[in-house]
């Protein structure tokens, strides 16, 4: 019988300048999460490198041949767990991307997703960030299947784009996973609100995995990794410190809300539509 749920772990890692140490911490937390019963372990955005445009080139690796990918594949196989490998700065020829890789429980690459919406914002006196100074955007929406559940991927700033979440839901996703690293300005204002909004609009589970907060870092992450259910309520969440959230995802909740409040079937697509384009660019 097809499995109806999944126990997932969101690992809120503390990330520093030492790349090998960052990767080693991630691997050790993957094993600990497995021991606590997790079937899928998700890591945060930019978990092998500090987050910042000045770091991406130095920390970048090829996907999937780089050392971080090899370590994730090995950990997934040894622990026997699916790993959503947060993100790493990816080098491909002369381009850099912000990329999430997914590994199945035998260590095989299941999916690879390059952030499609780059984080370019300017809030004077608070935060100015321009990923597009050094990164290129991906051009493809990405889903994968695990234990009979279709899972969609987004990365951080992608969370702000409801059309993307809508298209992933239309592809059949019941869970969207966003490795992310909001900051001390937009984190308290928007992180949870956006996670809940995407879950409520699309009537699916939403998991947000952040690095832990380091008050001395150049970019201070908000933390607060969380899991939102398809009714739009936060089911579990962390504070700003390193930690791991483990929670059960049940497909029954998705089916329940979608049948009881059937907005998915009530859309007036005769008047409007959202269509996937440039899928294979
Ligand atoms: O949207 C935000 O406020 C933060 C986004 C971000 O930090 C990112 O995309 O890496």
Burial class (CB in 10 A: 0-12, 13-18, 19+), 51: buried
pLDDT-derived band at 2 (thresholds 50, 70, 90) equals low
Are 9 and 244 in contact by the 8 Å Cβ rule? The answer is yes
pLDDT, position 273:
83
**Average pLDDT over every residue of 29-46:** 98
267-280 pLDDT, tens per residue? Answer: 999 999 888 886 55
The SS3 assignment for 23 reads helix
- Cα dihedral sign, 222-226-161-68: positive
Q: Is pLDDT above 80 for 3?
A: no
149-165 pLDDT, tens per residue? Answer: 999 999 999 999 999 99
From 19, 29, 34, 45, active-site residue: 45
Domains delineated in the chain = 5-266 (3.60.110.10)
- The one-character DSSP state at 171 is T
Looking at ligand 1, which residue's alpha carbon is closest to its atom 4?
182
From 19, 115, 131, 192, active-site residue: 115
255 alpha carbon – ligand 1 mean position (Å): 31
pLDDT, position 279:
59
Interacting residues of 233 by C-beta distance below 8 A, sequence separation 6+: 196
pLDDT-derived band at 118 (thresholds 50, 70, 90) equals very high
Looking at ligand 1, which residue's alpha carbon is closest to its atom 5?
157
Burial class (CB in 10 A: 0-12, 13-18, 19+), 184: middle
**Average pLDDT over every residue of 232-261:** 98
ipTM of the complex: 0.98
- Would you state the torsion angle of the CA atoms of residues 204, 139, 99, 57, taken in this order, to the nearest 10 degrees? -150
pLDDT, position 280:
54
Average pLDDT, the chain: 96
Q: What is the pTM of this model?
A: 0.97
């Amino acid at each position: 019988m097809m499995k109806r749920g999944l126990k997932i772990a969101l690992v809120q890692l503390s990330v520093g300048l030492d790349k090998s140490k960052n990767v080693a911490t991630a691997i050790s937390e993957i094993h600990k999460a497995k021991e606590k019963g997790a079937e899928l372990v998700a890591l945060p955005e930019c978990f092998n490198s500090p987050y910042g445009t000045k770091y991406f080139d130095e920390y970048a690796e090829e996907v999937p041949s780089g050392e971080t990918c090899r370590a994730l594949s090995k950990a997934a196989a040894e622990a026997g767990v699916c790993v959503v490998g947060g993100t790493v700065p990816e080098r491909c020829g002369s381009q850099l991307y912000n990329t999430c890789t997914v590994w199945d429980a035998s260590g095989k690459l299941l999916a690879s997703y390059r952030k499609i919406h780059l984080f370019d914002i300017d809030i004077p006196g608070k935060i100015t960030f321009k990923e597009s100074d050094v990164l290129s955007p991906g051009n493809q929406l990405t889903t994968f299947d695990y234990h009979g559940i279709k899972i969609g991927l987004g990365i951080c700033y992608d969370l702000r784009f409801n059309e993307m979440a809508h298209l992933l839901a239309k592809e059949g996703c019941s869970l969207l996973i966003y490795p992310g690293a909001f900051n001390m300005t937009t984190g308290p204002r928007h992180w949870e609100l956006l996670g809940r909004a995407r879950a409520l609009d699309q009537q699916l589970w939403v998991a947000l995995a952040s690095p832990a907060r380091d008050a001395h870092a150049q970019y201070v992450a908000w933390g607060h990794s969380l899991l939102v259910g398809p009714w739009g309520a936060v089911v579990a969440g962390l504070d700003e410190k390193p930690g791991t959230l483990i929670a059960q995802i049940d497909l029954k909740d998705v089916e329940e809300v979608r049948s009881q409040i059937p907005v998915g079937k009530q859309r007036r697509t005769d008047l409007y539509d959202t269509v996937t384009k440039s899928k294979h660019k």
